[in-house]
Structure 1
Amino acid sequence: MKTLTLFLMVFFPVWVCGQINTKTISGYVYQSSDKTPLPGVAVQVKNNPKQITLTNAKGYFTITLSANENVLTFSFLGFKKREVTIRKQTSIKVYLDEDSNTLDEVVVVGYGVQNKMSMTGAVSISGKAAGMASQHYMINHHAPQDFNTESYSAISENGFKTSLSNPLSTFSIDVDAASYSNMRRFIQNGQLPPKDAVRIEELINYFQYPYEVPKGKHPIHIQTEITTAPWNKKHQLVKIGLKAKQIATDNLPAANLVFLIDVSGSMQGPSRLGLLKTAFKLLTDQLREQDKVSIVVYAGAAGVVLPATSGNDKTKIKAALEQLEAGGSTAGGAGIKKAYEIARSQFIKGGNNRVILATDGDFNVGASSDAEMQRLIEENRNDGVFLTVLGFGMGNLKDSKMEALADKGNGNYAYIDNMNEAKKVLVNEFGSTLFTIAKDVKLQVEFNPSKVKAYRLIGYENRLLNKEDFADDNKDAGDMGAGHSVTALYEVIPVGVQSKFVKKDDDLKYQKAGSIKNSAELLTVNVRYKNPGNEESILLSHPFIADDDSLEKTSTDLKFAAAIATFGMYLRNSEYLQDFNFADLLTLAKAGKGDDKEGYRAEFIQLIENARLIKSSKE
């Protein structure tokens, strides 16, 4: 008993002292202008970088301070940083003022390291990026993550090929960007995306690059550049850029658009049908008198809720959108059939005839298999009606199905996770998203074996073509919209560099390395495209002689593209990512930020910061 009493006398004061010397502070962070909560605000103990947390979806946080710590800092992109001195209170409310100048800073945003297994829903981060309207957060509590049914096609990463045995690399261009916004959604919800949700070419092509516009008779201009691969200093990184001609909105062809909207039960919620309505209203505001819109919906059955209506009658179009409600099963096949019927009946010769499908991709009644849906669309695409697919929602997203539908329909696929993304796709990139200026665009690169030992295409795994497909005009390929840019990256192993990724070619009887033509050219880029309405392709050729490949002297845009590729390889746990750390990646991304008027590149830097925080929480 004496021993126990002595123990309590010694231990208890120490324990009490430990409790007294710490203080837990909780509170909420709001936007000053409209008093709405701010999720993803970084709350940090001043002068103690390890003591940091993030506000949740309701702007709520808790954090512990020691006895000698009494100042908290609050940071969020697009808002003025604020310091709050803690005195006797244990609960506080903090209001942040907007400040677009803070876009030059890098702060931690999103849902951070919190475990979100208990809820799901798309989140629109409250706050401003330059050129974007302030958004309120939206969250959908209807679908527990335990019942997550999202689906993604498996991706087998491209490996190295020796240029002596395989000098030609052929693929269809891709202007989709859904993978980027989907990846962003995962990270902003505090988790890394599934590796198969990451298509690196879509991450790269989410961003526009100021390539030189075409000046001659061709609607496409080819540009090339080289630098050192940031993840392997012995390797080189070659960027191939295509730029489509730009057309002023007033000069765009008349549009015949059919909005095909999923109103099935799975589309319930503000992040699904609610966001969809607002997105289509934004698109409606871009329409002109010569444009016309029809609206088809589908749930248990398909129906027409708005016959062809002039783009000038915006009130009527918006009223039809506003009355939509979700419920029932999903007759996707019937809806697509009806949409194509209307598109053909309203066909504008020489115009932009397009079905815009908006859904979470959950086709479960009627023609439901991927193969059936693809055949349905393939039967109609030759009639000159193209397809755009817009994905909404989370927990139920059928990414693999929607990507396949867009590919087969001579169209593009975007994932809309918040209002900023709706504005980017349907307002900022209106022409490139909806108006095709070159179809069936194929790219074939011939590597010079005297300069290139081996190469690998980064991304585009589901766009690869056989070399003979390049000149085959019956082979379908991707399309480019007005003003759009397409970027492809190759990792190159120069001749003379030893690499564990390349095995020695067997000696050939009829082909000797010494007989290769010695040319200064590193490679030649060949592009085939068709003008809309024509079925005969046109060939462009662009030889490339490599200059200084140092990373320091390369362009801002290539630095940024290299940073995106590096991050994509990290998310995919790529075996080719030989040298990686977040500090170097952030330095490279910041060096590539450039003139970021819309704030998209600053947002990417935030995602890197978030991913680093997520990773550190698991270590």
Structure 2
Amino acid sequence: MKGNLYLIILLLSLVGFKSSSVRTISGTVREQLDGSPLPGVSVRVEGTTIGASTDTEGHYSLKIPSNDVNLVFSFVGYETLKVKPGKTDRLNVTLKQSKSELKEVVIVGYGTQRKQDVTGAVAAAPTAAMHGKISGIAIRGQNNQVYTRHILIPDHNTESYKEITENGFQNPKDQALSTFAVDVDGASYTNLRRFINNGQLPPKDAVRVEEMINYFKYDLEGPKDDKPVAIHTELSSAPWNPQHQLLRIGLKAKEVKTEKLPASNLVFLIDVSGSMSPENRLPLVKTSLKMLVDQLRDKDQVAIVTYAGYVTLALKSTPGSRKAEIKNAIDALGSGGSTSGGAGLRMAYQVARENFKKEGNNRIIMATDGDFNVGASSDKEMEDLIVQERESGVNISVLGFGMGNLKDSKMETIANKGRGNYAYIDNITEARKAMVTEFGGTLFTIAKDVKIQVEFNPGKVQAYRLIGYENRLMAKEDFNNDKKIGGDMGVGHTVTALYEIIPVGVKSDFSLSVDPLKYQKQARKEDLTNSDDVATIKFRYKDPHSDKSRLVQVIQEDRALAFESASADFRFASAVAEFGMLLRNSEFKQASSFDKLILRAKGARGKDDDGYRAEFVRLAESAAMLSKGMELAKDSY
């Protein structure tokens, strides 16, 4: 009896210790060689989903459950460091550059240095930088002093991106209609964030401006009636050319409480090939999917299909009430072998069809780096497979992981053609955003095949340009054709599209003119200018379980707001668009400026509970330094 009493007292003391020992620990992560701060370092509590990333100054902060834990610091190109914090609330660490499978170069930052002073492989670094082959340039230094930074680049980089031919200005007399499918993906933004946080400007074709803009949520009013989507427009001046106008089109999907969402039939399709072994791939996949499992309800069910050299049904369809069983199946996964992606997709669709829920949410969630090398592997083969399978009523969400061999083009194709969405997961924070914060938008379609068509009035508009959406353009006749699919919007999603407009009478280098047509009927000039319309905006959508679209349209009148009076969302979206044009070095960037867009974004952060807009400001500041560093390096040679 006495022994039992001691045991009870001991257990109570341990419970009390655990509840009171949760505390916040913070610090700075620096590069061991030169002491410079490292942004984008992953900091996590070993064996848990608790984690954070360092900001642009190398700072981190996170809550830990007890003193008896290990913090794991990891960053591409650096050796992983494991530290037990003990009782201190402040833990500063340095990371050592990894020498395995990497080579070192040096780049000169602030100041100037003669070419002959830089020897060996270093002399080639600026040339590589100009071609985007260097994986890191950190610009630091004061008082105009010369500052050198050691950079690590992988021996093999096989990342692939679909080539983007940027939209140009169109004359509404020749091209009165602009048609495109909506895009709610944010993968391009998180991917380029990964590049910049690792000290490198992203490849030009990795920058999809519409995905940058739509990474952020906007304060739009939802539909008031039984419609699933509401439309809003706003017109003001273009900040990079005040003589031009900027038209914003915003869509807002209806919010639905989680308990009222339909039952889900999910299939986790997980790439377990050898390329998924690094910490930022399969281990992060496991953590991400377990977060999603925690959101499931008893009426939901999950199956797990894995693929490497062969395909396996790792877990038959299991109710959401058996979370421990699902998580155990995820934890048991290991990586190795080649990548039979096509066969994996076929089995995932088969399993989803076998457990199909009528009027429910039937969806494959694919987690991969996209590196298929066995079976159907080309973008065209993937597209044909997805187009064939999507008619079953099973949608697909693609989660991209990893770096160095990321096949962005394949994953974007799968999501676009499979009535799904595409997110790039680079850290625990982004996993939480996709799997928890935006759970409904990621998994539950509220409107499918959403298309937008804008008709511009040539009496008011001399030329117009759609900013982004190059991969989502549609023929004008596809707008009314219900057999042509558009983009899907999930619960609570917002979509923003921006058009740059050159008003009639404004002289511009981008103005377009052709001789009057001889055989086509021309509208009288006074009929066009007397109209107060700048454009008519139409959008079509289908209910999730319908094959017939509905049409909604609004008119944008020629009443442009002064830019200072435009909404905070308008001003912030314009800053993101300008950032994208600078990253792409767009021929349409005109007077775009890092300094101006950063200042504008700071003033338009508005309500930013999750800190995503503040993070954008820091990202733009880092990109500005990287860009300046490249120019300095170029000038010194």
Instruction: Determine if the TM-score, normalized by the shorter chain, exceeds 0.5.
Output: yes
Superposition pairs for residues 387-402 of structure 1, below 5 Å? 387-402=396-411
Cα offset, 1:617, TM superposition: 2.0
What root-mean-square deviation, in Å, do the aligned CA atoms of Structure 1 and Structure 2 show?
Answer: 2.8
Alpha-carbon deviation of 1:401? 0.6
Which secondary structure does the structure 1 equivalent of 2:232 belong to? strand
Partner of 2:582: 570
User: Corresponding residue for 1:511?
Assistant: 522
Could you tell me which residue of structure 1 aligns to residue 144 of structure 2? none
1:561 aligns with 2:573: yes
Shift of 1:522: 1.3
Matched, 1:286 2:292: no
**Counterpart amino acid of 1:290?**
K
Change (3 A) 1:39 1:415: farther
Q: Show CA shifts across 1:17-73 (max 9, x none).
A: xxxxxxxxxxxxxxx9557763599x9xxxxxxxx94247889xxxxxxxxxxxxxx
The answer for the alignment partner of 1:385 in structure 2 is 394
- Deviation, 1:430, is 0.5
Distance 1:614 1:205 in 2: 24
* 1:329 equivalent in structure 2: 338
**Distance in 2 (alpha carbons) for counterparts of 1:206 and 1:419:** 17
Give the Cα–Cα distance (whole angstroms) in 1 for the partners of residues 244 and 390 of structure 2. 42
Aligned twin of 2:29: 38
Contact 1:79 1:97 in 2 (8 A): no
Q: CA deviation at 1:498?
A: 1.0
Deviations 1:514-539 (A, max 9, x none): 26443112111101111111111100
Whether the 8 Å contact between 1:436 and 1:480 is mirrored in structure 2 is: yes
Contact 2:30/2:58 (CA < 8 Å) preserved in 1?
no
Instruction: State the distance in 2 between where 1:274 and 1:569 align.
Output: 34
CA 1:542/1:264 → structure 2, altered by over 3 Å: closer, same or farther?
same
User: Which of 558, 564, 585 is 2:597 aligned to?
Assistant: 585
Inter-partner Cα distance in structure 1 for 2:30 and 2:235: 40
CA distances 1:539-597 after superposition (whole Å, capped 9, x unpaired) = 00111114343211111000100000000000000111111222211111111111100
d(CA) in 2 for partners of 1:515, 1:378: 48
CA contact under 8 A between 1:37 and 1:58: conserved in structure 2? Answer: no
* Partner in structure 2 of residue 148 of structure 1: 157
Residues 273-316 of structure 1 show CA distances to partners (whole Å, capped at 9, x for unaligned) of: 01000000000000000000000000000001111111111111
Hey, what does 2:612 align to over in structure 1?
A: 600
Question: In the alignment, residue 371 of structure 1 is paired with which amino acid?
Answer: K
Q: Indicate the residue corresponding to 1:609 in structure 2.
A: 621
Aligned equivalents of 1:280 and 1:78: distance in 2? 24
Structure 1 position 367, deviation (Å)? 1.3
What is the identity, as a one-letter code, of the residue corresponding to 1:575? E
Q: Which residue of 2 aligns with 1:308?
A: 317
The answer to whether structure 1 residue 356 and structure 2 residue 365 are counterparts is yes
Give distance in 2, aligned partners of 1:493 and 1:257: 47
Residue of structure 2 equivalent to 1:107? none
Q: Could you tell me how far apart the structure 1 residues matched to 2:553 and 2:313 are?
A: 47
Report the TM-score, using the length of structure 2 for normalisation.
Answer: 0.78
Which letter does structure 2 place at the counterpart of 1:350?
E
Q: Deviations over 1:436-476 (max 9, x none)?
A: 01111110011111111110000000111111110001111
1:540 aligns with 2:552: yes
1:441-520 correspondence to structure 2 within 5 Å: 441-509=450-518, 510-514=521-525, 516-517=527-528, 518-520=530-532
Q: How many aligned positions are there?
A: 520
Partner SS state of residue 330, structure 1:
coil
Question: CA–CA distance in 2 between the matches of 1:193 and 1:553?
Answer: 33
Counterpart code for 1:217: D
Q: 1:577 to 1:119 in 2, by over 3 A?
A: closer
**Which residue identity lines up with residue 460 of structure 1 in the other structure?**
Y
Q: Which of 37, 52, 68 is the aligned partner of 1:54?
A: 37
The aligned counterpart of 1:229 is: 238
Q: Secondary structure at the match of 2:165?
A: coil
Runs of at least 5 residues in structure 1 that lack an aligned partner in the other structure: 1-31, 44-51, 60-73, 81-92, 99-111, 122-140
- After superposition, what is the alpha-carbon deviation per residue over 1:346-379, rounded to whole angstroms, capped at 9, x for unaligned? 0000000000110000010011121111111111
Structure 1 position 272 matched with structure 2 position 281: yes
Q: Which residue of 1 aligns with 2:122?
A: none
* Counterpart-to-counterpart distance in 1, 2:505 and 2:28: 58
User: 1:344 deviation in Å?
Assistant: 0.2
User: Structure 2: how far apart are the matches of 1:145 and 1:413?
Assistant: 26
Q: Read off the aligned partner of 1:364 and give its amino acid letter.
A: N
- 1:222 aligned partner, one-letter code: I
- Corresponding position of 1:133: none
- Alpha-carbon spacing, 1:75–1:262, altered in 2? closer, same or farther (3 Å): closer
- Report the Cα distance in structure 2 between the residues aligned to 1:356 and 1:113, rounded to whole angstroms: 44
Aligned to 1:108: none
Secondary structure of residue in 1 paired with 2:241: coil
| Letter of the structure 2 residue corresponding to residue 38 of structure 1 | V
Letter paired with 1:526: K
Does the C-alpha gap of structure 1 residues 57 and 231 become closer, same or farther in structure 2, counting only changes over 3 Å? Answer: closer
Correspondence for 1:259 among 248, 268, 284:
268
Map of 1:76-475 to 2, 5 A cutoff?
145-475=154-484
Supply the AA of the counterpart residue of 1:259. F
Alignment partners' CA distance in 1, 2:491 and 2:606 = 23
CA distance in 1, matches of 2:39, 2:536: 51
3-state SS of 2:155 partner: helix
Q: Which letter does structure 1 place at the counterpart of 2:443?
A: L
Match of 1:130 in 2: none
Asked whether the equivalents of residues 40 and 56 of structure 1 are also in contact (C-alpha less than 8 Å), the reply is no
Change in CA separation of 1:152 and 1:96 when aligned onto 2, cut-off 3 Å: farther
Who is 1:62 aligned against? none
Structure 1 pair 77–580 and aligned structure 2 pair: CA distance change class (3 A):
farther
Which SS does the other structure have where 1:523 is aligned?
A: strand
The AA in structure 2 aligned to 1:479 is D
Q: Match for 2:37: what amino acid?
A: L
TM-score by length of 1: 0.80
